[in-house]
Structure 1
Amino acid sequence: MAEESWNEIRRSNLRFSRINSSSTPQTTWIAPAPDSYKINYDGALSNADNKSGIGVVVWDCHGEVIASLVQQLDQAYQPMEVEALAACRAVEFGSELGLHRAIVEGDSEMVVKALRCKEYGLAPYAHLIKDVSLFSGLYSELSYSHVKRDGNKVDYSLARLALTTQSCTVWIEDVPSRTLSFVQADLAML
């Protein structure tokens, strides 16, 4: 009887771990479906320099970089505001590139949850979530995904670079050389 109870506990734990592991955000980059793109974004801030930075990279279904962007912002926003600004710029950048189907992916779980449910609420970044919602109308299909910081190294590197780059800079089918090693690491995982 004790053995039977023990086996039942193990089966329950196994089912529970499978359920939880499927809802856990990934730590590695995963390619989007064919005819779709993935737009990864991140934000960074420097309180000492009173600046924030945004990094965005657009990937195709083969893991090829379509374009990347860095943009410096003129003040050090709060962390959630920078992430929401980065998400907004990512969706806008994708529409500027003429994308119609995309997954927008960032490492702020709170911002991704707000984007998914279009929850504006009273958060200081609620107006930015609303802006993203307006830009999302330019796509035929758009979804939002959360990735852990370890799976967002390319964008983190771009956002940090934006803190030292005076203007908005775009690379077509490329990334800055200091980010290339992170791109290669992501591609090695595919």
Structure 2
Amino acid sequence: MEPRINLLNIHGRRRKFNSSDRKDEIAITIWALWFSRNKFVHEQKMQSIEEVVTFIRGFSREFRGISSILQHPRPRDLNKWVPPLPNWVKINVDTGFSAARQHAASGFIIRNDEWLIMGSGFKTHNLVRSVVLDEATVVLHGLQFAPEMGFSNVILESDSRLVIQNLQSSKEDYSEIRPLTWDAKALARNFSSCIFEFVARDWNSAAHAMAVEGLKRFEDFFWVEDAPVTALEMADSDQRFN
């Protein structure tokens, strides 16, 4: 004889339900009863009413918890440009590269905790062998410019995961960018604090605008508390989306 369970007594206590909760509870209960029935028919194992009820209650709680997380995801701060702490500045760097002309530009922009642009610039290079070399080179340029502005606590962000990983690693670097990362680490020791961080390309747009601007020219430019119009627009966009 198959087990019979009184559906009205499964939950044992009164609880407020909305229509969605009720549908979920009914579906879980039917599934649990069907599972119990199959174990009896195919395996000759009969579950007690207490076992079935315990399973339904536990699964219902877990299901509601997971549903709540999925409906209300936590914001991901890594998906936006975040200003540094007070008394710190953040240097964002990026590179632009023209394979046809073997021409590259290293762009950087420096902002403080109040979103203000403290400095920006780009340097141009010819006969560049690879993009990754220029991505490492722009780190040097950003670190060289910051001390001249009097900054002592800096965070440098790049969207080159390889370069940042090599800068963060304490292991010996045997890649082609080794001389550049070695110089960057040496420059970092001149600051009171220097942190290297990876940033998604979408949130490195102001530095990218600096690099693109540099590709249009064949000479170096630097700005104090200012930047080209396109970089200003990208920096303003970063702030609006926070």
TM-score range relative to shorter protein = 0.7 to 0.9
The 2-side partners of 1:68 and 1:141 are apart by 20
The 1-side partners of 2:59 and 2:135 are apart by 48
Q: Please name the residue that 1:42 is paired with.
A: 94
Is 2:139 the counterpart of 1:115? no
The 2-side partners of 1:164 and 1:113 are apart by 30
> What is the TM-score normalised by the length of structure 1?
0.86
Answer with 141-150 or 172-181: which moved more: 172-181
The 2-side partners of 1:120 and 1:3 are apart by 55
Aligned residues: 184
Is 2:61 the counterpart of 1:4? no
Is 1:52–1:77's contact at 8 Å kept on the other side of the alignment? no
Q: 1:176 to 1:10 in 2, by over 3 A?
A: same
RMSD over aligned CA atoms reads 2.4
2:137 to 82, 85, 103: 85
Structure of greater relative contact order (alpha carbons < 8 Å, 6+ residues apart): 1
2:85 counterpart SS class: coil
Is 1:84–1:128's contact at 8 Å kept on the other side of the alignment? yes
What amino acid is aligned across from residue 180 of structure 2 in structure 1? L
Superposed CA deviations along residues 93-123 of structure 1, whole A, max 9, x for unmatched, are: 1122221001001111111111112444221
The 2-side partners of 1:14 and 1:137 are apart by 46
Is 1:106–1:112's contact at 8 Å kept on the other side of the alignment? yes
What amino acid is aligned across from residue 214 of structure 2 in structure 1? A
The 2-side partners of 1:149 and 1:65 are apart by 19
Q: How does 1:94-173 map to 2 (within 5 A)?
A: 94-173=146-225
Q: 1:10 to 1:126 in 2, by over 3 A?
A: farther
The 1-side partners of 2:210 and 2:117 are apart by 13
The 2-side partners of 1:14 and 1:143 are apart by 36
1:138 counterpart SS class: coil
1:26 counterpart SS class: helix
2:79 counterpart SS class: coil
What amino acid is aligned across from residue 136 of structure 1 in structure 2? A
> What is the TM-score normalised by the length of structure 2?
0.69
Largest Rg, 1 or 2: 2
When you count strand as a share of all residues, which structure comes out higher?
1
% identical equivalent positions: 21
The 2-side partners of 1:38 and 1:188 are apart by 18
Is 2:122 the counterpart of 1:70? yes
Is 1:25–1:146's contact at 8 Å kept on the other side of the alignment? no
The 1-side partners of 2:167 and 2:66 are apart by 33
The 1-side partners of 2:129 and 2:148 are apart by 25
Is 1:46–1:76's contact at 8 Å kept on the other side of the alignment? no
1:159 counterpart SS class: helix
Deviation at 1:44, TM superposition (A): 1.4
The 1-side partners of 2:140 and 2:165 are apart by 14
What amino acid is aligned across from residue 96 of structure 1 in structure 2? E
The 1-side partners of 2:134 and 2:68 are apart by 39
Deviation at 1:178, TM superposition (A): 2.5
Is 1:40–1:155's contact at 8 Å kept on the other side of the alignment? yes
